[in-house]
Structure 1
Amino acid sequence: MSYAVRKDGQGFRAIDGPEDIESHETYYEGVPPTPIALPLSAGEAANRAREAREQLLSVAANRMGPLQDAVERNKATPDEVRMLDMWKDYRIELNRIELQQGFPSSIVWPPVPGEQTP
């Protein structure tokens, strides 16, 4: 099968032969190359970052709940109090990602409490 592949790499279409290509296309026989993805717009990148943040905040809330319960009931160990403080700091940092200078194209995500960093 023959294809007209866009010169910008953004897609292709099936054609009968080389006479069917247009000026912005090249002729290609066989399996066409995988299209190159367009970069995200600033708005799309910001929305994806916010969605990722919301997922991480949900995880944080699930981790914090039992720790907060233990603290409120005066049943928390020193390690649990420390972990709750770490999760609270993590949540604060997540909520401030939009204030980072490189947002949304360059985000420094805070490390997850209790996970080792390389």
Structure 2
Amino acid sequence: MKIYNVHPMTGEYIGEGLADPDLLEGDGHWLIPAHAYLDAPPVAGKNKAVIHDGESWKVVDDFRGTAYYMDGQHKYTIEDLGVTVPEGATSEPPPPTVAELTANALAQRDGLLFTAGLRIAPLQDAADLGESTEADGLSLKLWKQYRVAVNRVPDQAGFPKTISWPVPPSE
């Protein structure tokens, strides 16, 4: 005999199975496990789920996993059956604020300055010790010019919304 199983906590339909015959009662008697029903569930459409409330099948909204934004940067994710996306919600996050853009740009600048410092240090050591080659001297000058340009990024007219990042010297 076909049975229809539901999740023990949510009542959500999870699949069908077969009941075992009741060997003690004989023919026509079946062992129906907990959280299983004999009546077939209805078909659920898009963003719908079928649940059994203990008495009957119901079709409910299913937007689990859907992320949305309301009035800020905070992202909400629907985790429960029957919950819908609120009126006025959007799937797109609001654009970053000027403060957020500035913080991101300065963090990127600082990372580039760190990298430039790593490249400059051994070249400067060679120059300080009088052991630098002509190629070392040229590379040192290019990296220092790059580092100055990166440091001046906040002075650009469109900062922080539009930034023209300097290109590092080729190695």
Name the TM-score class by shorter chain.
0.7 to 0.9
Deviations 1:55-85 (A, max 9, x none): 1111111100000011111111111000000
> Share of identical aligned residues, percent?
30
- Cα 1:23/1:68, change in 2 over 3 Å: closer
Structure richer in helix, relative to its length: 1
- Cα 1:76/1:21, change in 2 over 3 Å: closer
CA contact (8 A) 1:3 1:12 kept: no
Q: Report the TM-score when normalising by structure 1.
A: 0.74
- Pick the structure with greater CA Rg: 2
Over the aligned positions, Cα root-mean-square deviation in angstroms equals 2.5
Write the letter of the residue equivalent to 2:114. S
Instruction: Kindly state the Cα deviation for residue 114 of structure 1 after the two structures are TM-superposed.
Output: 1.1
Higher relative contact order (CA 8 A, sep 6+): 1
Structure 1 stretches of 5 or more lacking a match? 27-34
- CA–CA separation in structure 2 for the residues paired with 1:72 and 1:24: 64
Question: Which residue number corresponds to residue 116 of structure 2?
Answer: 60
- CA–CA separation in structure 1 for the residues paired with 2:125 and 2:85: 67
- CA–CA separation in structure 2 for the residues paired with 1:25 and 1:37: 10
Question: Which residue number corresponds to residue 111 of structure 1?
Answer: 167
Question: Which residue number corresponds to residue 16 of structure 1?
Answer: 82
Write the letter of the residue equivalent to 2:165. W
* Pairing 1:72–2:128 present: yes
- Cα 1:16/1:58, change in 2 over 3 Å: same
- Cα 1:16/1:54, change in 2 over 3 Å: same
Q: Report the TM-score when normalising by structure 2.
A: 0.53
Aligned residue pairs, count = 103
Structure richer in strand, relative to its length: 2
CA contact (8 A) 1:64 1:87 kept: yes
Structure 2 stretches of 5 or more lacking a match? 1-48, 50-61, 70-75
